[in-house]
Amino acid sequence: MAAVFVLLAATLLYQLASHPDSLTLSLGPRFARTLYWTTVQATISTALSILVGTLLAWALSYRTRFAGRGVYIALLSSAMVLPTLVIALGIVTVLGRSGWINEALQWLEFSPFEPFIFGLSGIVLAHVYFNASYVARTLLGRFESIPVEQRKLTRSLGLNAWQRFKMIELPSVSGTLPGVSITIFLLCFTSFSIVLMLGGSPKYNTLEVSIYEAIKLDFDLGRALGLALTQLSICAVLIILASRLRKDNRLISAPTANRYQLKDPVMLTGIQYIVIVLFGLIFLLPLTAVVIDGMSASFIKLAGDKNFLLALSTSLVIALLSTVLVLFSSVLIAIAYATLATQQRLANNRISQPLLKLLRFSSTLYLAVPSLVLGLGFFLLARGVGGAQILWAVIALLTSNVLMVLPFAIAALAPAMVKCANRYDKLAFSLGLKRWNRWRLIESSLVKPELIYIASLAFCLSLGDLGVIALFGNQDFITLPWLLFQKMGSYRTDEAAGIALIMLAITLAVFLLLPRLFAGKLIKTEKAHHAKA
Amino acid sequence: MLRLENVRFRYSGSDTTYDFSMQVAAGEITCISGRSGSGKSTLLDLIAGFLKPVDGSLTWRDINFTQLPPDKRPVTTVFQQHNLFEHRDAIDNVVVGINPKIPKKGRDAELAESVLASVGLQDFIHTRVNLLSGGQQQRVAIARAILRDSGVILLDEPFSALDQQTRADMLHLVRTLATEKARAVIMVTHDLRDCEAIADSHYEIEHGQLHKRVV
Amino acid sequence: MFNSTLTNASRFGRAVKQAIALGLAFAVPATAVAADKTLTIYTYDAFAADWGPAPGIEKAFEETCECDVQFIATDSSIGALRKVQLEGDQTKADIVLGLDTNIAEAARETGLFIEHNADSSGLTLPTGEWTDNTFLPFDYSYFAFVYNKENVAEPPTSFEALMAMPDDFKIVIQDPRSSTPGLGLLLWVQEVYGDKAMDVWKRLAPKIVTVTKGWSDAYGLFLKDEADMVLSYTTSPAYHDIAEDDQRFASAAFDEGHYLQIEVAAIVGSTKNKQLAQEFMQFMLSDTVQDIIPTTNWVYPATTTEKGIPKGFEKLHLPETSLLIDGVEVEKNRARWIDQWVETLGQ
């Protein structure tokens, strides 16, 4: 991992050094305003995402038995891997000036609403769409692990819903919320494709989009670098602040399989179902729009399109490679983490403490590395060094994919690793199990569900991302999102819709079915474990 | 007198039908035993109102409370664990039993303070409960049960995690509580020694029904 | 201190460079396969599209040249220029096609382009004779707002009228930094209003649904009814009329006159096929290409061909006043005007 950083830094520095005349670091005239709007946008997006997500998680944690709950929650978890462009397309179809909602309103003889999907409201809407689902999914796990005795207790004490929320739900997520908020803030702060598509005017550009414009529109590399370094420092400061805020997370008992649905007043139940249904609709409509629009596309024509086939195979190969790389690096990081934590536990080692902190810090910092700048570095390096552009494009794409997924991978892996440590550290010490041996014997089987999750996450995110490819894409090297972006741009609507549907189908299939395919095996190994125990 | 008359219940998707009948007089301690999964928790949930029976009736002092929600019932439960809001101090955890707004001052707070003192926690009133020992934590839960002044107290294996000496102290506390405050206490346990130590009567759950055993 | 860091970095950079180059020498088999000559042309998406002029031109030229013509699409024509700049010496482009006279000076200043030496005497542009030996025109049209007659009964007849429309009257325009129509509109307003241009933009701002990167996204949004008018060309309605037999579309005639766009092509200096590229440039002015352009790119041809302008074009609004700012003048002010524009819209 350190190597990646060194390479990145070297690339940037090398570029700086090799263009002493043409490059003057600058921020551009609109920097202050861009920073202001980016901050405003990210703050609103984060606040709304947390609010909506918490409300939904709260409703779902109370309503534990309704038809389709499993599917509902599975869809929520898939939100973060849905291709942003595809969803943005769906949102326009549903909420555009001539979108479904407006048509319905007109049909019902209400006056249609003003278009709002471009500009700040559009950006915020799309961000909330993705991130509220993420919040809901994360918090639901927390809420569900609240011991049922506590729920019974609050009811027998006659606390109302708000008092209950304050007494048990809020404390159960107080350790999680700062981390989740900062992650979402960083995602919105560095948002790219949503802002590019729904931004409306230069007013709401994020720093990331300004970097893109500096490179692609004005060809001002000095400004691009200046903006990139600024974004990097701001995000780094935020992450440091957040890590200070973050309280030590008290371990909560594992979710009980017993999905207890306690009786509640009709009012409360009603409100909860309204929240669930309403969000479900908001969530499903754009997906449905993508499916319906996509159905009308001619897949036979698409299957004969050599560009499409090229993009499809490129995307699948890239996604697969990224998955392998992500798994490999997150396992390495996890082992390093476990080893360091063990050292820390055994003897208050002076080196392991800061190393641990650095490891934790850097895993979040990837969120702040603008993938465009990474791409630019590689692009310029390619220009300087020579060699096949396509090779550089692949390297740049893989690197940015790995960096994009790692924060989530580590967030998923860390709690499982801590659990392993709590359970097996003493045994491992007494048997002298270390590093790879320990991993093979203990973690590899215990964190398998997390690894499968990480794999599907890596695959889907890599498949759907439009970032670096925006710089590298050309006739010979296209990915599905890039092709989609182009088709959307050239108003090949039906083809775009077809590609969007295919991307959606692949993503959902991989994300929802893959873990289930492996689940059978898992139960067996789990049982074997119990039998041994 | 707490009276259960053919209180019947069935989990959806399960074959077992529970059918509970029993009586517990005020000031008495009744002990419930049974194998894991026999229905001990189901019985307590039915009395506390977390489950709704198919039919049958629950009465306390001849008042039927079968249809009341948990917080309106004359019942307080002390669980084996998770009785307390861990991030709050002892007095908050007690006063919440009579006032959900958790006042820091006034009559309710004073009452809570005196009850805490009566269970021997006068030195820990403002201590966060997760810093207390297991026995002290259960004392806080019992203090709340006392303060709530409900006639029926349900104890769901409340002392199984405690050491021998603490356990004896707690049993003594429960005995005093039942007798002095005239509460009907139902205590679920799988340690028959607890029954022998303090119970006035003993039921065992088998095949979904209560069978009276000789103490 | 900083200097020494830089030197070290560059030394390190050189080391990396050598190491990687060495690695590549083994890893990548030589890609320079000596096949037929390939002529690579960077252009904007709509030109290269299946339904654009590129496929027909490609086919016609390949019949005569014994070469392979490849059109590479970018999201906009300025995007094509930036791509060549980014790729530097590595670029595969032999020709960049689709810039216009407004951006030509900027392109000239990059020093990337060389002379075309084509015979331009056949040109019949509204501006008269053509003398530029770097950039060669191949078509032209006038910028205009296009609307759907069914949705807009009374289109605005001037910028003043447009500004006076209610705010729920929405237009979609392009970014002047990436798209030639976007830049064209900026210059159009500039030419009509001079120093007061930014006041005009301030009043237009609430009517702008969104600013897109290229012409195609904007036109797409317009066809999806996301806006009442789109910035396009006076010749755009011809597409709907001729290709789709759909007479609903028209361009709004503005009293102030319409800004002229002359699209040009140029040869990239690093080309290894200079002669072939020059042949292609001349070919762009042949009747073959000039007859393809009107019904694929939906603009006026740059020469008068034997067949003449296709039927249906005569129905179009032909502006009485055509506006055009001199290229050098544009280049002197472009950066400043764009900054002001971004500043005005970004408030």
Q: Which residues in B lie closer than 8 A to residue A149 (C-beta atoms)?
A: 79-83
**Model-level ipTM above the cut of 0.85:** no
What pLDDT does residue A530 have? 42
Q: What is the rounded CA–CA span in Å between residue C331 and residue C343?
A: 19
Please indicate if any CB of chain A lies within 8 Å of the CB of C343. Answer: yes
Residue C11 maps to a domain: no
Mark yes or no for CB contact B100/A157 under 8 Å: yes
> Whole-model pTM above 0.95?
no
Residue A474 is encoded by which pair of tokens?
């050309």
pLDDT over 60 at A20, yes or no: no
Q: What is the rounded CA–CA span in Å between residue A444 and residue B47?
A: 46
Which A positions 258-287 lie with beta carbon below 8 A of chain B?
260, 262-263, 265
Residue C286 maps to a domain: yes
| Touching status, chains C and A (3+ beta-carbon pairs under 8 Å) | yes
Q: Which residues in B lie closer than 8 A to residue A265 (C-beta atoms)?
A: 69
Q: Where are the alpha helices (DSSP H) in C29-76?
A: 45-48, 54-65
* Residues B4-36 pLDDT 10s: 999 999 887 788 899 999 999 999 999 999 888
| Touching status, chains A and B (3+ beta-carbon pairs under 8 Å) | yes
Residue B78 CB-density burial (10 A; 0-12 exposed, 13-18 middle, 19+ buried): buried
Mark yes or no for CB contact A386/C90 under 8 Å: yes
Beta bridge partners of B156: B188
**Average pLDDT for C121-131:** 89
**Average pLDDT for A127-133:** 92
Q: Which among B76, B80, B101 is the nearest to A156, CB-wise?
A: B76
Q: Which among A13, A202, A385 is the nearest to C20, CB-wise?
A: A385
Q: What is the rounded CA–CA span in Å between residue A266 and residue A260?
A: 17
List chains touching C (3+ CB pairs under 8 A): A
In this prediction, residue C159 has a pLDDT band, given cuts at 50, 70 and 90, of very high
**3-class SS letters over A71-123:** HHHHHHHHHHHCCHHHHHHHHHHHHCCCCHHHHHHHHCCCCCCCCCCCCHHHH
DSSP assigned state of A165 = I
- Range of weakest confidence among A131-145, A405-419, C222-236: A405-419
Find the CATH number of the domain harbouring C234: 3.40.190.10
**Average pLDDT for A421-425:** 70
From A165, A172, A159, select the one nearest A255 (Cα to Cα): A172
Q: What is the rounded CA–CA span in Å between residue B39 and residue A148?
A: 17
Instruction: Name residues whose C-beta falls within 8 Å of residue A174's C-beta, 6 or more positions apart in sequence.
Output: A247
A218 Cα to chain C: minimum distance (Å): 7
Report the DSSP pairing between strands C95-100 and C258-268.
antiparallel
Answer yes or no: do C331 and C303 share one domain: no
User: Domains of chain A (ranges plus CATH)?
Assistant: 26-290 (1.10.3720.10), 298-363+370-533 (1.10.3720.10)
Answer yes or no: do C130 and C99 share one domain: yes
* Residues C271-322 pLDDT 10s: 999 999 999 999 999 999 999 999 999 999 999 999 989 988 988 999 988 9
**Average pLDDT for B105-127:** 90
**3-class SS letters over A470-513:** HHHCECCECCHHHHHHHHHHCCCHHHHHHHHHHHHHHHHHHHHH
Q: Determine contact, residues A438/A341, Cβ cutoff 8 Å.
A: no
Residue C300 maps to a domain: yes
Q: How many domains are contained in chain C?
A: 2
Q: What is the rounded CA–CA span in Å between residue A15 and residue A9?
A: 10
Q: Determine contact, residues C263/C137, Cβ cutoff 8 Å.
A: yes
Q: Determine contact, residues A382/A389, Cβ cutoff 8 Å.
A: yes
To probe the interface with A, which of C183, C216, C219 has the most A CB atoms within 10 Å? Answer: C216
Q: Which residues in A lie closer than 8 A to residue B81 (C-beta atoms)?
A: 147, 149
pLDDT over 70 at A258, yes or no: no
**Average pLDDT for C243-256:** 91
* 3-class state of residue B93 by DSSP: helix
Residue A460 CB-density burial (10 A; 0-12 exposed, 13-18 middle, 19+ buried): buried
Answer yes or no: do C171 and C307 share one domain: no
C140 Cα to chain A: minimum distance (Å): 21
Nearest CA in chain A to B11: A260
Answer yes or no: do C291 and C254 share one domain: no
Answer yes or no: do C183 and C325 share one domain: yes
Q: Determine contact, residues A260/A151, Cβ cutoff 8 Å.
A: yes
What pLDDT does residue A23 have? 56
pLDDT over 80 at A150, yes or no: yes
Q: Which among A96, A202, A391 is the nearest to C346, CB-wise?
A: A202
Q: What is the rounded CA–CA span in Å between residue B202 and residue B197?
A: 12
* Amino acid in position A4: V
**3-class SS letters over B105-145:** CCHHHHHHHHHHHHCCCCCCCCCEHHHCCHHHHHHHHHHHH
* 3-class state of residue B96 by DSSP: coil
- Reading phi first (left if > 0) and then psi (alpha if -120 to 50, else beta), residue A392 is in alpha
Q: What is the rounded CA–CA span in Å between residue C43 and residue C80?
A: 6
Mark yes or no for CB contact B50/A155 under 8 Å: yes
Q: Which among C12, C88, C208 is the nearest to A383, CB-wise?
A: C88
Residue C65 maps to a domain: yes
Residue C4 maps to a domain: no
Average pLDDT, chain B: 88
- Max Cα distance, chain C (Å): 72
Q: Which residues in A lie closer than 8 A to residue C5 (C-beta atoms)?
A: 13
What pLDDT does residue A320 have? 93
Q: Which among A16, A96, A114 is the nearest to C224, CB-wise?
A: A96
Question: Which strand (E) or helix (H) includes residue B9?
Answer: strand B2-9
Please indicate if any CB of chain A lies within 8 Å of the CB of C178. Answer: yes
Answer yes or no: do C162 and C119 share one domain: no
* Residues A314-358 pLDDT 10s: 899 999 999 999 998 888 887 777 777 766 665 555 666 677 677
DSSP assigned state of C67 = E
Please indicate if any CB of chain A lies within 8 Å of the CB of B41. Answer: no
Answer yes or no: do C160 and C217 share one domain: yes
Q: Which residues in C lie closer than 8 A to residue A486 (C-beta atoms)?
A: 45, 73, 75
Q: Which among B71, B82, B87 is the nearest to A147, CB-wise?
A: B82
Answer yes or no: do C193 and C297 share one domain: no
Residue C74 maps to a domain: yes
Answer yes or no: do C286 and C221 share one domain: no
Question: What CATH code would you report for B1-74+152-159+184-215?
Answer: 3.40.50.300
Q: What percent of chain C has pLDDT above 90? A: 54
Residue B75, CB-side half-sphere exposure with 13 Å CA sphere: 34
**Average pLDDT for B100-107:** 85
Please indicate if any CB of chain B lies within 8 Å of the CB of A175. Answer: no
Average pLDDT, chain C: 85
Answer yes or no: do C271 and C242 share one domain: no
A206 Cα to chain C: minimum distance (Å): 12
A203 Cα to chain C: minimum distance (Å): 4
* Residues A454-471 pLDDT 10s: 898 899 988 888 777 766
Question: Which strand (E) or helix (H) includes residue A54?
Answer: helix A31-62
> A2 to each of A67, A323, A363, A379, how far by Cα in Å?
48, 20, 11, 21
Mark yes or no for CB contact A475/C10 under 8 Å: no
C121 Cα to chain A: minimum distance (Å): 34
Nearest CA in chain C to A384: C17
DSSP C264-318: EEEEETT-S-HHHHHHHHHHHTSHHHHHHTHHHH-SEESB--SS-SPTTGGGS--
Residue C6 maps to a domain: no
Answer yes or no: do C253 and C296 share one domain: no
List chains touching B (3+ CB pairs under 8 A): A
Residue C228 is encoded by which pair of tokens?
């009442």
Length of chain C: 347
Q: Which among A30, A213, A471 is the nearest to C177, CB-wise?
A: A213
Q: Chains A and B: how many Cβ contacts under 8 Å?
A: 61
From C189, C240, C181, select the one nearest C214 (Cα to Cα): C181
* Residues A73-116 pLDDT 10s: 888 888 878 888 888 888 888 888 778 888 888 888 777 777 67
* Residue ranges making up the domain that contains C241: 141-260+321-345
From B42, B40, B61, select the one nearest B51 (Cα to Cα): B42
Residue C23 maps to a domain: no
Answer yes or no: do C150 and C231 share one domain: yes
